[in-house]
């Protein structure tokens, strides 16, 4: 069972949409920043436009199960990504944001919106994720949304070129904590 095609999701400040090949330059700019890639396991450093295109071609053709949504601001500028991908038979959440947009609540807004939509389409599916142990901000984001720690491991970081301590998390069905308007 899959959640269907990737939707377009609007929030108060953002639009999340399927990726386009034209996102390659913005992705390369963000992911060439080691402050961003050091917190991602599967992204190499240095990161080039061709790396973005190599990822975008199968994503934009619909060849991969799940959602890979571009986070865009009011002028449709690509500033990050939220994904819910099927890996090894389990749904996995991943995300990153251009560092010039950090500490504004954008990632919380984007991840919450994607998980809320995903949970409506796939109400009985847990969503797995995790963070590197030296990324407490990301762990706080996940805990705020209802994720719970399930263990620790070490995984390989391509950007760091080494094994890194990793905190495993899961969001059980029905556990999403959605911010309520006052």
| pLDDT per position as a tens digit, 48-62 | 999 999 999 999 987
What is the extent of the structural domain holding 14? 9-125
**Residue 156 maps to a domain:** no
Verify cis geometry, omega within 30 degrees of 0, for the bond prior to 119: no
Looking at the 3D structure of the chain, how many domains does it have? 1
- pLDDT > 80? residue 182: no
Q: Judging by DSSP bridges, how do beta strands 148-157 and 9-10 pair with one another? A: unpaired
**Residue 146 maps to a domain:** no
pTM: 0.93
Average pLDDT taken over every residue of the chain: 93
**Residue 137 maps to a domain:** no
**Residue 84 maps to a domain:** yes
Task: Provide the CATH number for the domain around residue 103.
Answer: 3.40.630.30
Sheet of 148-157, strand order: 9-10, 15-18, 66-72, 78-87, 90-97, 127-132, 162-171, 148-157
Residue 73, judged by CB atoms within 10 A of its CB (0-12, 13-18, 19+), counts as middle
**Residue 108 maps to a domain:** yes
**Residue 70 maps to a domain:** yes
**Residue 32 maps to a domain:** yes
Instruction: For residue 30, give the 3-state DSSP assignment.
Output: helix
Per-residue pLDDT, 61: 87
pLDDT digits (tens, 9 = 90+) for 75-126: 889 999 999 999 999 999 999 999 999 999 999 999 999 999 999 999 999 9
């Amino acid at each position: 069972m899959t959640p269907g095609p990737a939707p377009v999701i609007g929030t108060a400040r953002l639009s999340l949409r399927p990726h386009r090949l034209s996102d390659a330059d913005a992705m390369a700019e963000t992911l060439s920043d080691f402050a961003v890639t050091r917190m991602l396991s599967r992204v190499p450093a240095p990161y080039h436009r061709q790396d973005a295109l190599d990822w975008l071609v199968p994503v934009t053709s619909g060849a991969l199960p799940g959602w890979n949504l571009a986070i865009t601001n009011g002028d449709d500028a690509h500033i990050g990504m939220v994904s819910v991908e099927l890996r090894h038979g389990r749904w996995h959440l991943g995300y990153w944001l251009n560092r010039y947009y950090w500490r504004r609540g954008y990632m919380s807004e984007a991840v919450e919106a994607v998980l809320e939509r995903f949970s409506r389409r796939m109400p009985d599916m847990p969503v797995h994720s995790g963070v590197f142990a030296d990324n407490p901000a990301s762990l706080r984001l996940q805990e705020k949304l209802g994720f719970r720690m399930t263990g620790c491991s070490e995984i390989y970081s391509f950007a760091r070129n080494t094994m890194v301590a990793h905190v495993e998390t899961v969001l059980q069905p029905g556990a999403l904590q959605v911010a309520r308007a006052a």
